[in-house]
Structure 1
Amino acid sequence: MSDARPGNTPRSRTTPRRLLTVLAAATALATSACSGVAHPGAAGAAAYQLTPTTPPAAGGIDSFTWSLFAEPTSIDYAYSFDFPPNQILANVCESLLRWNPDLTTSPGLAASYSNPTPTTWVYRIRSGVHFHDGTVLTADDVVASLRRNLDPAVAGDWAYPFRNVQSIDKTGPMEVTVTLKTPDSTFNKYLAASPGTVESAATLAKDGKDYGNPADGVNCTGPFAFSSWTPGQSLVLKRFDDYWDPALKAKSAQVKFVFLSDPTTRVNAFRTGEVDGGWMVPPDAYGQLRDSPAGTLYFGQNTTVADEVVNDLKGPLGDARVRQALLMAIDRKGIVKAGAGGVGDVADSLVTANNWNGAPGSAAADALKALPAYPYDPAKAKALARQAGVSGQKVVIATSPLDSQTAIITQAVAQAATDIGLKPQIDTISADKYTALFTDPAARQGVNLFLTFWYTSITDPLDMYGSLQTGAFSNYGNWSDPAFDAAVDQAVGAYDPAAHAAATAQAQQIAMTQLPWLPLYTEPVSVFLGKRITGVQPSIAYLYYPWAAAIGARG
C-alpha cells in the first residue's frame, strides 16, 4: 500500500508494484504433479490447471528462500494491505478465525464463536497458546489488538470492516464480545483476515509507533517468529517450536524472504536455485519456467478481477450506455490471450465465482444467469454509443510503464474507445503517481479510466460491492445509486444465507447494468516451487493462511 493512509474506510487494493506482479499469474502448464480443474485454452487445449495442493513434503528442511517483489514498509498488521507484508505476516501472526486455502473459514485463535443476537459476536479464546516471547494468549490481548482498528490515532488500513462496531470488550477470562451498532453479516468473516489479527497487548504498548518496524518486528502466535530484517535485502523468520497447532507446525527451521524488485532478476533466481520459490510469477517467464528443470509452476484459486475503473461519471462515460458500449468493444478474449498468456477467463461480473462459495442451492448460478451479457461486438457497441450521443469526445486512460501486459490492456481499451467513436488519450504516468490514483482524489482529476486488479479478502461478493456504495473510499468515480446502496445494506444486515445471497445478487445486477467499473478478466494465483521444496497449497488465501508451514523437502 501507499504510505498515504486515509483514516477512514480505506479500500484500495492496488499499488503499481501489485499491478505489476498480479499480472504475472498466468502460464500454460500441465504436469504430472498437477491435479485439479483444467481450464481450456482458446483452441480447446488445456491452457492451465488449478491445483488445490502440491505433493506433500517428504520431510523437514533447514531453510528455504522466497522472493518478494517489494520490501514492506512495515509488518504492522494494521497497515498490511498488500502482497509483500501480508504473505510474511500470514506465517507469523494469526487471526481469531482462519481463511483456508479452499476459501472456507474455520476457528483460529478463537476456539469457537457464536452470534447470540444480530448485533453481538462472542469469541471463546483458545487456551494454551503462546506468543513468540513465551507469554500466554489472553482475552486482554484480543481486545487490545482488535481495538487498534478503531483507533483514529492508528488510522489503520482495515477500518472498513469495523465501521459497524460499537464496542469490543472482555466478557470472561477467555471470552471477548463484539457489539455492533447494526447487524453485519460480513464482520465475522473479516476476522479470518488481517482485521482479526491478535498481537500481545504488552508488545503493542511497549513498541508504540515503532511496532512492526525492522528493528522491533512483531510478537505473535504463528508457526514462524520474526527473526531479523535487513532493510533493502531480506527478512528472516524462524520456526516457533511452541506453536499450538500440530497440523501446522513448520517443517522448515527458517524462511528467508529476499526483496527482488526486478522481474528478470527474480526469474533468474528461480532458474539458478538461488531462490526456492515465489508467488505471482513474472509473465515473461511462463515458458521458461514451464520447461525448466529448476522446479514447477502451479495455479490455484483466486478472487481477483482485472477492472477498468470509471473515474469520471460527469464526462462522456457518465451515460451507462456509453460504458456498456465500451465494454462490448473491448476484445477481452484477446487481452487474456495476449496479455495473460491465455490463462484466465473473461469476467462475467466484478467478482469471481469463488466469492459465491457457500451460497445456498443455485443462488450463485441464478445470479450469474440473470446478469446482462457484454459479448465482443464493436458494431453493436458503436451503434449504442451513437444513440448515447458519442461523437468524438476525449477520454483519458491512465497507465504506467510496468510491463507488456499493462500495455496490452491499455491499448485494447484505447482501441475500443476509438471503435465506439471516442478519442482516447493514453496518459502514461510514473509508478508513484499511479499509486496516488488510489489514495488522492486530486491525482485522479482529468482521468476517465484506470486499471486495477481487485481481490477480496473474504469469501463474499460484498467485499467488492460494498466498495461501490455511495461515499465509500474506493468508489473512485463517486458513482451513486440508491437502489444499489439499499441492496448492499440489506445484504450486509442479512445473516440468513438465502436472504444474504438474494440481496447481494440484486446489488450485483445493478452494478453490472450500470457498470461503475468495467470487468475485464479473472486469473488464477500462480506460485513457483524450486526442486528442493514442496507442500504449499496454491490459493489467494496465502495472504492470511500460514502457507509456509507446510513447505518442506521434496521427496
Structure 2
Amino acid sequence: MTIIRSRAGRRGVLLVAALSAGALALTGCTPEPATSQTAPEWELTARTAAPSGDIDSFSWASYAEPYSLDYAYAFDYADNQVLANVCESLLRLNPDYTLTPGLAESFERPTPTTWVYTIRDGVTFHDGTPLTAADVVASMSRHLDPAVGSSWYSVYQNVTSIEQTGDREVTVTTAIPDSQFNLGMGGSAGVVESAATLEEKGADYGNSTGLVNCTGPFELTEWKSGESITLTRYDDYWDDALKAKSGEVEFVFLNDATARVNAMTSGDVDGGWMLPVDGIAQLQATSGEVSFGLSTAASDLIVSNLEGPLGDVRVRKALLMALNRDGILEAAAKGYGEVSNALTTESVWGEASEATRAAAFDGLEEYPYDVEAAKKLVEEAGATGQKIVIATAPISNDFAVISQATVAAAKSIGLDAEIETVTPNAYTALFSDPSAREGIDLFYTIWYLSSPDPLEMYAVLRTGEFSNYGNWSDPEFDAIANEAVGIDDAEARAQKSAELQRIANEQLPWLPLFTGPTTVYQGERITGVAPSIAYLYYPWAAEIGAR
C-alpha cells in the first residue's frame, strides 16, 4: 500500500502492498458476505521447481520505486525486495523464517547484556575490498546516530556500545537484557556496508547517484530514477550455495496494478511479488506459475487518534463489529486469506509450543458482524454523531474497498465519517511524521514482522514507541512487554506474547481485518524462487534461473 519509510521508526515492521486491480464501488453499506462466491483454492508452497540452469537475465515488476537503498531507511517492500539481493546482514532470515549465520559465522551471549559476533572471513564487498569487523561496527553504529535518523533505531534502543573486541569480533552491549536485538540482526538492522563507502558517499549513499557497495550475490550497478534498477551477478560472492543463477536482474517500476499484470501476462516482465488479486486468475492462465507462500503480514486499521470517539474502547469494538470482514476479504483480496482477530500470524510463533500457540489464538474475542449491537455500544459511549476521518490514497483497490467500507460501517452505527484522500507519498508520511496524522483517526496497513517472534509486533504498542501511532497506553501491557523483552527462552517469551495478544484483542489499539499469503509470479522463462515474505531480507533472486 505505501511506498516510503519512516526515518525513526520501529523495526522490521511495515505496511502495505498493492493487492487489487479492478474497480469496485461500495455504496451505503459495508460489503455483504460473499455467500454466492466460492473461495479460491490455493495452497502454500515452500519452494518452486529448481532451475534447469543459469539464465542471462530476467526482469521483475515492482509496484513502486524504492524510497532508499540505504539500509538505515529501507523499511518497506519496494526497498527491501531489491536490497535483500545486494546487501547482507549478520544473520540470515531464511524462507521458513528461521535465523542462521550470515556475515557473522557465529554469535554468543556470554552475559545477559552482551552479544558477541564472530565475523566471517573471506567475504568481500562488491568493490573487492575485504569485510572487516571495523565495517560491522561502522554499519551498526549508524543506527545510533541521531543525524542519520535510522528507521531501525528501535532495534538498537537498548544498546550502550558497539565495539570491535578482536580481529574478527564485534561486541554489542545493551543496558538491559534484550532478546529482540539479536533477532533483529536478520533484517535491515543487521546489514553491513563498507565503512569506506559510507564515508565516501555521505548523503548520496543509497540513492540513485551514490548506490551501495555490499557483499550480496548481486551488485547494484544502475538506478534509472523513475524507471528501473539493474543488478549484476557478483562473481566473487562468498556463499557457493547462493551464487546467482542469473547474470542480471532488472526491476521495473510499474505503479499501476493493471499495468503490472499486463506486463507479466505478455512476457514483457518475467515476474513479480505482491500480485494484484484481480489479476491472479489471468496470470494462472499463462504458461508461467503463480505461487502462494508463507506470510507474516496482517491487514489492519491503525487507530491513530485516541482523543476522538475512538478513544473509547466501546467505539473501537463497535466499529470492528460493524465491518463485515468476510465481505471485505472477498472484495479487497478476492478471498485469498482469512479473517483474523489477532495482529500476528501463526507463522511467527514457530518457536512456541503447540499449547502456547493455541493459548495465543484460541478464545480471542471474534467481534462478529452485528450492526445493531455495535450501534448500542456507540450509544452507550455517548459517541453518536461524532466524527472520524479515515485516510486513504490512490494506490490500489484494496485501499478503496477498505476506506469506503469503514466509512459505511461507521455511518451504519451512528458515527459521522469521511474519507481524506492523500497522495501515496503523503500516505507514507503517516507512518513517519506525527504531524501528518493530525486530524486522521484511522489508516490502513499490511504490517509484516521481520523476525520469527510475535513480540516484535506487540513491543510496537508499548507506551511511547515510535510506531504506536495512536499513543495507546496500557500499564499492564507495558509491564508484560518489558518483562518479555528480557526473557531469553523463546517458549517463556512466547507465553508472555500470548498474554499481550489477548490484551490487544480486548483493547483494539489497532483493528485486525484479515491475513493472506505472500504471492509471486514466475513467467515461462524462470523458476526457483521460494515463495515467502522472507524475500524482503533473503537473496531470493539468486535462486532464480532458467525453467
Instruction: Report the TM-score, using the length of structure 2 for normalisation.
Output: 0.93
**Uncovered stretches (5+) of structure 1, i.e. residues with no partner:** 25-40
> 1:423 — aligned with what?
416
Letter in 2 for 1:96: L
Q: Which of 162, 170, 174 matches 2:164?
A: 170
Q: Aligned Cα RMSD in Å? A: 2.2
1:499 shift after superposition? 2.3
- Give the conservation status (yes or no) of the 8 Å contact 2:314–2:377: yes
Instruction: Determine the C-alpha separation between the residues in 2 that align with 1:432 and 1:44.
Output: 36
Q: Which of 267, 278, 284 matches 1:284?
A: 278
1:400 shift after superposition? 2.1
Q: Which of 102, 110, 117 matches 1:108?
A: 102
Deviations for 1:274-309, whole angstroms, at most 9, x for unmatched residues?
11111111233122112123x111111111111111
Letter in 1 for 2:81: Q
- Give the conservation status (yes or no) of the 8 Å contact 1:42–1:337: no
Aligned length: 535
Does residue 516 of structure 2 align to residue 518 of structure 1? no
1:492 shift after superposition? 0.7
- Write out the 4+ residue segments of structure 1 that deviate beyond 6 Å after TM superposition: 1-4, 41-44
> 2:27 — aligned with what?
none
Does residue 249 of structure 2 align to residue 255 of structure 1? yes
> 1:442 — aligned with what?
435
Instruction: Determine the C-alpha separation between the residues in 1 that align with 2:534 and 2:494.
Output: 22
Q: What pairs up with 1:476-495 in 2 under 5 angstroms?
A: 476-495=469-488
Instruction: Determine the C-alpha separation between the residues in 2 that align with 1:311 and 1:23.
Output: 25
Q: What pairs up with 1:142-541 in 2 under 5 angstroms?
A: 142-293=136-287, 295-541=288-534
Does residue 14 of structure 2 align to residue 13 of structure 1? yes
Instruction: Determine the C-alpha separation between the residues in 2 that align with 1:89 and 1:488.
Output: 31
Instruction: Determine the C-alpha separation between the residues in 2 that align with 1:541 and 1:433.
Output: 27
- Give the conservation status (yes or no) of the 8 Å contact 1:11–1:160: no
Instruction: Report the TM-score, using the length of structure 1 for normalisation.
Output: 0.92
1:42 shift after superposition? 8.6
**Uncovered stretches (5+) of structure 2, i.e. residues with no partner:** 22-34
> 1:71 — aligned with what?
65
Q: Percent identity?
A: 55
- Give the conservation status (yes or no) of the 8 Å contact 1:47–1:342: no
Aligned to 2:49, the other structure's residue is in SS state: coil
Instruction: Determine the C-alpha separation between the residues in 2 that align with 1:508 and 1:3.
Output: 28
Aligned to 1:189, the other structure's residue is in SS state: helix
Instruction: Determine the C-alpha separation between the residues in 2 that align with 1:317 and 1:518.
Output: 11
Which piece of structure 1 moves more, 400-409 or 150-159?
Answer: 400-409
Instruction: Determine the C-alpha separation between the residues in 1 that align with 2:360 and 2:513.
Output: 19
Aligned to 1:307, the other structure's residue is in SS state: strand
- Give the conservation status (yes or no) of the 8 Å contact 2:19–2:396: no
Instruction: Determine the C-alpha separation between the residues in 1 that align with 2:401 and 2:90.
Output: 42
> 1:83 — aligned with what?
77
Deviations for 1:225-248, whole angstroms, at most 9, x for unmatched residues?
122222222211111111111111
Instruction: Determine the C-alpha separation between the residues in 2 that align with 1:518 and 1:3.
Output: 23
- Give the conservation status (yes or no) of the 8 Å contact 2:324–2:369: yes
Aligned to 2:42, the other structure's residue is in SS state: strand
- Give the conservation status (yes or no) of the 8 Å contact 1:223–1:240: yes
1:408 shift after superposition? 1.6
Deviations for 1:159-211, whole angstroms, at most 9, x for unmatched residues?
11000111111111111111111111111010000010011122222222222
Instruction: Determine the C-alpha separation between the residues in 1 that align with 2:20 and 2:154.
Output: 26
Does residue 128 of structure 2 align to residue 134 of structure 1? yes
Instruction: Determine the C-alpha separation between the residues in 1 that align with 2:5 and 2:362.
Output: 40
After superposition, the Cα gap between the structure-2 partners of 1:183 and 1:543, relative to the gap in structure 1 and judged at 3 Å, is same
Instruction: Determine the C-alpha separation between the residues in 2 that align with 1:525 and 1:501.
Output: 24
